[in-house]
Structure 1
Amino acid sequence: MEKERVEMLRRIQEVEFACIDLNLYLDTHPTDQRALMEFNSYSQQLMMMKRQFESVYGPMTNFGFSQSQYPWAWLEDPWPWEIEY
C-alpha cells in the first residue's frame, strides 16, 4: 500500500509541475490557445488525482482546502519530508 501511495504522490507531483510550467508559459504567451487547452486539461486531471488520493489516504492540504474523514486525519500521515521516494 505504501508503494502505491508514493507512486500516486509522484504522479501528482509530475502533473502539478506541468501545470506550474504551463502557467508560467501562459503568463508570457496568453494567446497560445493550445497551451491554454493543455493547462486546462492538466488542471482538471490534477484535481481528479488529488480527489482520488484524498479519498484513499486522507487530506493533502489543510485550512479548508481538503475535507477530512472521521477521525481528523491531518496528523495521521507522514509529512512530505518524511516520505521516502
Structure 2
Amino acid sequence: MTNEQHQLLMYIDQISFALDDTVLFLDTHPCDTEALAYYQELKEERKMAMEKYASKFGPLQNDNVKCGCSWSWVETPWPWELEGRDC
C-alpha cells in the first residue's frame, strides 16, 4: 500500500466517523440547522474522497463502481489485502 493510499484511507475513515457521529446527533436534534449544514459538508467531502480513492486505487464500495463491459468491483485487491506489502 502506498503512502498516498494509506493517507486517503485514513482521511475517509475520519470523515466517515464524523459523518456517523453527526447522524447520531441529528437523530436527537433533527431541526439543528448548524448540524444539518455540517452533515451536508461532511457528506460532500466523503463523496469526493471516495471518488478520488476509486479513481486511483479502485472502488471501496459497490456504489463507486464504474460499470462498463465488466464488473470492476472485483478487479483490484481489497484494502486489507494490501496491508504489509511494500508495493
Question: Shorter-normalised TM-score: what interval?
Answer: 0.7 to 0.9
Using the aligned pairs only, state the percent identity.
36
1:18 aligned residue: 18
Residues 69-78 or 14-23, more deviating: 69-78
**Counterparts in 2 of 1:1-85, with a 5 A limit?**
2-62=2-62, 65-68=63-66, 72-84=71-83
Shift of the alpha carbon at 1:3? Answer: 1.1
Q: Structure 1 regions of 5+ residues with no counterpart? A: none
Q: Tell me how many residue pairs correspond in the alignment.
A: 83
SS in 2 for 1:15: helix
Runs of 4+ with deviation above 6 angstroms: none
Alignment TM-score, normalising by the size of structure 2 = 0.79
Q: Which has the higher contact order (CA 8 A, sep 6+)?
A: 2
SS in 2 for 1:74: helix
Higher helix share: 2
Q: Structure 2 regions of 5+ residues with no counterpart? A: none
Alignment RMSD: 2.2
